[in-house]
Amino acid sequence: MRAQVCIIGGGPSGLLLGQILHQHGIDNVILERQTRDHVMSRIRAGVLETGTCDMLRKAGVGERLSREGFTHEGTFIAAAGRQFRIDFQKHLQKHVTVYGQTEVTADLYEARDKAGLTTIHMAEGVTLHDITSDAPSVTFVHNGQEQRIDCDFVAGCDGFHGVSRQTIPSEQRKEFERVYPFGWLGILSQTPPVSHELIYANHARGFALCSMRNENLSRYYVQVSLDDKIDQWSDARFWDELKHRIPEQAADTLITGPSIEKSIAPLRSFICEPMQWGKLFLVGDAAHIVPPTGAKGLNLAVSDVHYLTEALVSFYEDNNKGSVQTYSTKALERVWKASRFSWWMTTTLHRFPEQGDFGQHMQEAEIAYLEGSEAAQTALAENYVGLPY
């Protein structure tokens, strides 16, 4: 089999990359280790930056996003029993859109199906060969048979645990990581959201977040110890703890109900440099992980797709052989800035084991400063809606 670009990973970044390359007549094949149903079952965040929405619309998959997405022109920050609103529209004339990652993936799969493009699920034993040569290839096992794809480039969109990053020799990789000493316990419930916009809450008992998927589907989180187990958290205990941590006016109007999904996710900040090696390019979680505070994960993956498609289109359409050499530098500049914002949100809003009363008061002072400073609110809004590409 032959393709100009072999994409490893059939999540939203791989699918979006394949869709945009197809629009420019660049042949691509996607290899995915899991089944399509498994990919579609992943519960992920749904706050999309302005630039992400623009990319999806340019890729021809924005119709349902425009129809069903929820526009958020601000967000709430809470601490010390009170909350205030950061008005994105006032500060920047921009907004974010709440539209689940599962829905984004579904739209991209539908577009790929309509175009008749090749997506191979249950691809096992994926191995990259001759990545630093002019003739890279990828082998894999499908239905018990070993197969091979010869290609010009390989895009590693296969996540933190995928094979792509590990293909780069360890002596050529620099990996920067911070593992946070807590996780997020999240539940999904078929209840109306407590707020029309997200509430990020700092509390002495730990962080909490009130989010949503649609007008009858809510997503809530509380910070928990990494030692906690799901079976320790009944629905009743979760709702009680959430009410303790969010402002009183929100707690009083919170509508509770049975959880339809419950999970604990650890938090980490991780960046790999470089994001390319020979003819291999890393995209999304294969190259970087951010804590979910500030909703940058999917959005960063989309910005990677922007820089990579820009480079590949220039390579094929303009015969610009040097365009692909700048991908890592351009992508990493934005990755570090977005990671800084996620780190700042995480360290400002969460309770750390060693911080004590002094640390809690300093966080509250930081948030009080944010409440009273137009400049600080503009800076937060600028990062939250998404830095320019």
Report, as an integer, the average pLDDT of 359-369: 98
Asked if 353 is an active-site residue, the reply is no
pLDDT on residue 214: 85
Report, as an integer, the average pLDDT of 199-210: 97
Ordered by start, the domain boundaries in the chain are: 5-70+100-177+268-345, 180-267+351-385
**242 touches 222 (CB < 8 A):** yes
Question: What number of CA atoms fall less than 13 Å from residue 350's CA on the CB side?
Answer: 24
pLDDT on residue 289: 97
pLDDT tens-place string over residues 322-345 = 999 999 999 999 999 999 999 999
Question: Of 292, 307, 316, 350, which one is the catalytic site residue?
Answer: 292
- The closest alpha carbon to 4, from 18, 114, 14, 125, belongs to 18
46 falls in which pLDDT band (50, 70, 90)?
confident
Asked if 296 is an active-site residue, the reply is yes
Q: Provide the β-strand partners of residue 142.
A: 145
Question: Of 22, 91, 296, 350, which one is the catalytic site residue?
Answer: 296
4 falls in which pLDDT band (50, 70, 90)?
very high
Asked if 200 is an active-site residue, the reply is yes
pLDDT tens-place string over residues 164-187 = 999 999 999 999 999 999 999 999
Report, as an integer, the average pLDDT of 315-323: 94
Token output for 13: 């970044």
Asked if 384 is an active-site residue, the reply is yes
Question: Of 99, 109, 180, 200, which one is the catalytic site residue?
Answer: 200
Q: Architecture of 180-267+351-385 per CATH?
A: 2-Layer Sandwich (3.30)
pTM here is: 0.95
Q: Rounded to the nearest 5°, which phi and psi values hold at 152?
A: -90, -40
Domain 5-70+100-177+268-345: assigned CATH number: 3.50.50.60
Q: Are domains 5-70+100-177+268-345 and 180-267+351-385 of this chain identical in fold? A: no
